[in-house]
Chain A
Amino acid sequence: MMSRFMLLAPVAWRNLWRNPRRTLITLLVVAIGVWSILVFDVILNAWVTSSREASLRLLTGEGQIHATSYLDDPNVAHRMSEPEGRLLRALNSPVVSAWVRRVRVPAVIQSEYRTRAVTFLGVEPPGERIVSDLPSQVVVGHYLRDSDDIGIVIGRDLAEKLKTRLGKRVIVMAQAADGHLAERSFTIAGLFDGSQAAQDEFVFTGLHTAQSALGIGHDISEISFDTAPAASLNDIVSALKHAAPSRGIEPWTALSPLAYAMESFSQSYIAMWLAIMFVLMAIGIINTQLMAVFERTREFGLLQALGMRPGMILFQVTLESALLVGIGVLVGVLLMLITLVPFRHGLDLGFLAAGAEMFGAGRVLYPHLDPGDAVRYSLIVWALGIGAALWPARMAAKADPIVAMAES
């Protein structure tokens, strides 16, 4: 087999360049196809990662614990006590990297001019700095200092809508534990940037301040937690459910279905794109090889007349395709690297900000090439390319040696 390869490989290589223009066009088709598949894969994965991070690093975390039925009706009545006993031990285990308590209820915020519906959160600022990116997104003023902070942090966009600003006072109204309307005045301590939806929806104060305002003692609405690297989220969720069977414990996949759907379907999207690209490439490959075989029918007959077995002719034509597609794949990979290198520090989608946000992604995507994906898709294209060329190769192998006797 090796000796046959060594015999036929140089011939196959030279045959490719008998018609350089045709070979170059096919190379280009394969290269562009591979390039588009790999770039699509990298961008889509970056998008999925961004979408997940945008969701998880906002408030979701990798999982949350609530009172049962809180997710169906997130009001103050569906609160829970602070974690203790087995649940506290489970949360403090090494597989949970961080966790925070929150009060989170629907509310209305009012400035001198306007009123808006919001979600009012009482948070533990030191913990939030670990599990959320929101504290770092404060662009005017400052984030909350501790759980007793009596200031309020709102979105910059919400401040504009309320026609208010840093240092001004706003009133937050929400249903208190006793069923009455709780009303409290806050001074705006900071304005945060970020996604439009987050800016419009969330307002933050210290955990104890919120508990006091709502009259819920030390009760909380939710616990958000992150897992340690390499820890299994499913195992942790199972352990927490075992520790607190009466509470609702959900992984991020249930809390952020859009981000999860993006991740779940990304492989399907790539497979669909690969299929579309491959059909286009296959047309080019088959066309090139058929032309090459038809042009050389007499030569294949001659080779058989000289004593070459049909199987070897099939091998030779297949080898030509393998070389052709293989080079196209390598060029495609090279083009992909050239395309992505300028964006290795991030691809700013500022010009698509609204669209990106609609799909839950952040403003900046960070392309990351998974070498495994690059190798896998390259090999798939290569193998499929060789497969597509088997038809012309079989035609070559079936060439009648009698044609070698016919006068050209």
Chain B
Amino acid sequence: MGAIIRCRGVEKIYRQGAVDVPALRGIDLDIESGDFATLAGPSGSGKTTLLSLIGGLDRPTAGEISVDGEPIVKMEKNRLADLRLHKIGFVFQAYSLIPVLSAAENVEFILRLLDLPMHEREARCKEVLREVGLEGLEKRRPSRLSGGQQQRVAVARALGPKPAIVLADEPTANLDSKNAEELIALMAHLNATSGITFLIATHDSRVMAHSRRRIEMMDGKITADERQDATVAA
């Protein structure tokens, strides 16, 4: 399979006052379509920065990034928003649901941005909420869902538009062990059944254990990149 994410010589320097702080130092990385990869490393190693650049949320200081064959570094803001809407699903660490919308509405919101007809939206919404095990909780607002359930809604929302890639930033960081295990298993299962590419920035060894490819980062550089057998078969 070809690379769905391609990074070449990616650098990112943040300016703090008069001081330049390099966050990424020449990243070269290809992520294959359908992969389940983790970005691992200590805090400050550049995982989240790399994820945000690949997601088009920020722009690199130097280098090239392409997603599904489209170069995104110089892409105009609205086109980037469209790219995210159609091709990239995000799962953030926490607090990433729209609080005034129910679980189903959070998922449907993105589908409505895609202008899908109502019957398609409803069917897709039902399908992804069932996939993440939230049947019966569709009408609950985030404030009435547990942390694990909220992250499942976030995963369902990310999967709703059938994206090519899901980028997840520390998705288990705020979950207890049981919920974290369940979420990891869910993402691995979805990767296996739908073929969606997952790139997950994480500290969590359980997540790393499930990944097929483990990319280690340190001080803004990739220090190791290994393929491995997933611990739990999807």
Contact with B along A290-318 (1 / 0, CB 8 A): 00000000110011111111111000000
28 pairs across A/B with beta carbons < 8 Å? A7-B112, A11-B98, A11-B100, A11-B109, A14-B100, A298-B95, A302-B96, A304-B81, A305-B57, A305-B84, A305-B90, A306-B90, A306-B113, A306-B157, A307-B83, A307-B84, A307-B88, A309-B81, A310-B81, A401-B58, A402-B52, A402-B58, A404-B57, A404-B96, A405-B52, A407-B94, A407-B170, A408-B95
Q: Is the CB of B55 within 8 A of A305?
A: yes
**Which residues of B have CB within 8 Å of A305?**
55, 57, 84, 90, 92
- Sorted from nearest, which 8 A-B pairs have the closest CB atoms? A307-B85, A14-B100, A307-B84, A401-B57, A309-B81, A408-B95, A7-B112, A402-B58
Is A18 in the interface zone, CB < 8 Å from B? yes
User: What separation, in Å, do the CA atoms of A402 and B92 have in the docked complex?
Assistant: 11
Q: Is the CB of B57 within 8 A of A402?
A: yes
User: What separation, in Å, do the CA atoms of A302 and B106 have in the docked complex?
Assistant: 12
User: What separation, in Å, do the CA atoms of A58 and B35 have in the docked complex?
Assistant: 94
Contact with B along A10-29 (1 / 0, CB 8 A): 01001100100000000000
Is A3 in the interface zone, CB < 8 Å from B? yes
Complex: chain B residue closest to A301, CB-CB: B57
Contact with B along A388-408 (1 / 0, CB 8 A): 000000000000111011011
Of the candidates A11, A306, A400, A405, the one whose C-beta lies within 8 Å of that of B85 is: A306
**Which residues of A have CB within 8 Å of B77?**
309-310
Q: Name the distance in Å between A226's Cβ and chain B's nearest Cβ.
A: 63
- 8 A Cβ contacts from B12-27 to A: none
Of the candidates A11, A18, A307, the one whose C-beta lies within 8 Å of that of B82 is: A307
Is B110 in the interface zone, CB < 8 Å from A? yes
Is B115 in the interface zone, CB < 8 Å from A? yes
- 8 A Cβ contacts from B58-100 to A: 58, 77-78, 81-86, 88, 90, 92-96, 98-100
Size of interface on A: residues with Cβ below 8 Å to B: 26
Q: How many B residues are at the interface, by size bracket?
A: 20 to 34
Of the candidates A303, A309, A402, A408, the one whose C-beta lies within 8 Å of that of B94 is: A408
Q: Is the CB of A404 within 8 A of B100?
A: no
Is B51 in the interface zone, CB < 8 Å from A? yes
Q: Is the CB of B57 within 8 A of A405?
A: yes
Complex: chain A residue closest to B157, CB-CB: A306
Q: Is the CB of B90 within 8 A of A15?
A: no
User: What separation, in Å, do the CA atoms of A404 and B99 have in the docked complex?
Assistant: 14
Q: Is the CB of A307 within 8 A of B92?
A: no
**Which residues of A have CB within 8 Å of B45?**
none
Is B101 in the interface zone, CB < 8 Å from A? yes
Q: Is the CB of A306 within 8 A of B110?
A: yes
Complex: chain A residue closest to B77, CB-CB: A310
Q: Is the CB of B99 within 8 A of A18?
A: yes
Q: Name the distance in Å between A291's Cβ and chain B's nearest Cβ.
A: 16
